[in-house]
Amino acid sequence: MSKLDGRCLCGAVSYTSDAEPLFCAVCHCRNCQRQTGTAFSIVVAVPEDRFEVTGELSEHVTIGEDHGQPTRRRFCSGCGSPIVTVSESAPGVAIIKAGTLDDPSWLEPQLEVWCESAQPWVPQDPERTRLDRHPPQPA
Q: How far apart are CA 3 and CA 66, in angstroms?
A: 31
pLDDT at 1: 57
Q: Assess if residue 139 is contained within a domain.
A: no
Q: Tell me what pLDDT residue 12 has.
A: 97
In a domain, 132, yes or no: no
Q: What predicted TM-score, i.e. pTM, was given to this entire model?
A: 0.85
Structural domain harbouring 114: 4-125
Residue 134 domain-assigned (yes or no): no
Going by the DSSP 8-state scheme, the letter that residue 9 receives in this structure is S
Kindly report the CATH number assigned to the domain that includes residue 120: 3.90.1590.10
Structure confidence at residue 71 (pLDDT): 86
Domain-located, residue 109: yes
Nearest to 84 by CA among 113, 106, 54: 54
Q: H or E segment at 32?
A: helix 30-36
Contact 76, 83 (CB under 8 A): yes
Q: How many domains does the chain divide into?
A: 1
The per-residue pLDDT for 67 is: 63
For the chain, residues with pLDDT lower than 70 are 1-2, 64-67, 135-139
